[in-house]
Structure 1
Amino acid sequence: MSDPAGGPPAAVSSSDIAAAGFPPLASRTGPLVRAFLLDIAIAIIVLLVASLASGIAWGVWRVVVVVQENGGQAPEAAAIAGAIGEPGALAQILMAAVGMSAAALVLYLVRRRATAVERRQSMAALRRRSTWSWTVLVGVAVFAGSTLLGYLMQLAGSEPVPTNMALVEEAARHWPVVLVLFAVVLAPAYEELLFRRVLFGRFLAAGRPWLGILLASLAFALVHEVPGLSANPPLAVLQLWLVYGGMGAAFAWLYWRTGTLWAPILAHALNNGLALIVHGLA
């Protein structure tokens, strides 16, 4: 299987930039941040369009099912609307996968497509034993760290409920195989492509990895726990942001350290798989 995203270019130091006659790093921060914000805007637009399209497709499919159940006779509009109802766990998972995958692929293809050299470097890095060691270490450490934080915050009286928890639990009851494929295969792939290759990778290539880790991890946390969409109190929301932000930072560092996007993809998959197993959701 070829690497669609490639590995990151070697980090550029301040002395390298000065020796090459480029402007100081501080003067290059503005364009980087503007490019980052443009990436975010494009991702949101694509996500909304893809989600709307998948929602319409689901609605059309439900109408067809309703008509078939009525012997080919189209019921009244009010009856159709009632029969369509709300998308279930399976439909919501598929819509989420379509929307986020579309956003990640569009951003990758239009804004941060890997070169042939980057792909070769990525595959070479994947063959190194140290890459696999770091991948397992980070994947386990992320899961252990988030579990420990959750335990300590529980002792302090904070027990946040992630926005997607109800969806995950319903999927675990009725569609466990789909849940595993989504959490362990699809989500790690498109999230790492978007947040690490595109958003963080832009800063890494420009020699500003720490700023990239900060901004990309903040975006990663906000996507997973959007303020106002759950009943969590402020302290619980902050806890979830710390968990997701720390996860994003760890995966970005792993990408930087190993030079291949496959490392954070696999570490992300390991973390999600451990979560499913330990919490009995698989």
Structure 2
Amino acid sequence: MFAAVGGFFLDLSLAIALLAGLSLLGVAAVGFAQGLRGIDSAQIALDPLLLVVVSLVATAISALFVYYFRRNANPVERAESWRALWHRSSWGWIAFALIACSGYSAVVSAFAQEMGIDITPTNQVLGEIIRTHPRSLLIFAVLIAPAYEELLFRRVLFGRLWAAGRPWLGVALSSAAFALVHEPPGLGVSSGWGMLLLWSVYALMGALFAWIYRRTGSLWTAYLAHAGNNLIACLALLA
């Protein structure tokens, strides 16, 4: 078990280090490109959509790197995962995860509003972007982001402890990592109780996605549940 836990934290550390490094390089590259266009350094302002693209690319490369070099699925595993998706029960678990995520998010929002707690998520910038670039953001948030996040958090991180015979520890640790990466301590808009409530929302999502992955044996179910949840969130922002 200790080897599996060590591998978990090594994988997570590699992903975070790559994400931070690639994000800085991406922002620097965008600023450099604007400088070449003759824009004065004091006037350089990064387009929020470009920042989202940089973040997505950095996270995708990080997740794919850790997946490919640390816990790559073989052809047999990929084929079994695809077949398992088409079991009738798999779609029932996807629906269950969507209902549970949406329901819990609604309860937390109502509670926070009643108590006067600010639970503004760090990704609040997406609200304005989705109104100006709806199709682009829908593609990123609904189709692309869930794919690399499921590879990292469920296939690599949760899957390592699942394979070691400690699935519940895998659920706990991968869900905590999922929450902390989405709402980094000290870097988010919310704080105190607001941050704790946001962590609980993301942790529940991570736990549910890990659970249906284990229950169905298909990473596709976790991906579709994640994509569906993001679609609901994006449609809410558009509304």
**Which bracket does the TM-score occupy, shorter chain normalised?**
over 0.9
TM-score in terms of structure 2 length: 0.94
Q: Once the two structures are superposed, what CA deviation does each residue of 1:212-231 show, in whole Å capped at 9, x if it has no partner? A: 00000000000111111134
User: Does structure 1 residue 224 correspond to structure 2 residue 182?
Assistant: yes
State the match for 2:208 in structure 1: 250
User: Does structure 1 residue 131 correspond to structure 2 residue 90?
Assistant: yes
Quote the Cα distance in structure 1 between the aligned partners of 2:188 and 2:85.
Answer: 39
Q: What aligned pairs does 1:149-164 form with structure 2 within 5 A after superposition?
A: 149-164=108-123
Larger Rg: 1
State the match for 1:109 in structure 2: 68
- 2:23 aligned to which of 48, 51, 68: 51
Contact conserved, 1:195 with 1:216, CA < 8 A, in 2? yes
200-209 vs 136-145, which moves further: 136-145
The structure richer in helix per residue is 2
AA matched with 1:199: L
Quote the Cα distance in structure 1 between the aligned partners of 2:41 and 2:189.
Answer: 29
Runs of 5+ unmatched residues, structure 2:
none
Contact conserved, 1:189 with 1:265, CA < 8 A, in 2? yes
- 1:203 aligned to which of 161, 173, 189: 161
Contact conserved, 1:107 with 1:194, CA < 8 A, in 2? yes
State the match for 1:122 in structure 2: 81
Secondary structure at the counterpart of residue 140 of structure 1? helix
Quote the Cα distance in structure 2 between the aligned partners of 1:82 and 1:45.
Answer: 29
User: Does structure 1 residue 213 correspond to structure 2 residue 171?
Assistant: yes
Contact conserved, 2:121 with 2:189, CA < 8 A, in 1? no
- 2:139 aligned to which of 153, 163, 181: 181
Q: Once the two structures are superposed, what CA deviation does each residue of 1:79-111 show, in whole Å capped at 9, x if it has no partner? A: 62124x231211111111111101110010010
User: Does structure 1 residue 271 correspond to structure 2 residue 229?
Assistant: yes
TM-score in terms of structure 1 length: 0.81
Quote the Cα distance in structure 2 between the aligned partners of 1:141 and 1:238.
Answer: 19
Secondary structure at the counterpart of residue 238 of structure 2? coil
State the match for 2:195 in structure 1: 237
AA matched with 1:238: L
Secondary structure at the counterpart of residue 122 of structure 2? coil
- Percent pairwise identity: 43
Contact conserved, 2:183 with 2:198, CA < 8 A, in 1? yes
Quote the Cα distance in structure 2 between the aligned partners of 1:86 and 1:48.
Answer: 20
Runs of 4+ in 1 over 4 A off after TM superposition: none
Runs of 5+ unmatched residues, structure 1:
1-27, 67-78
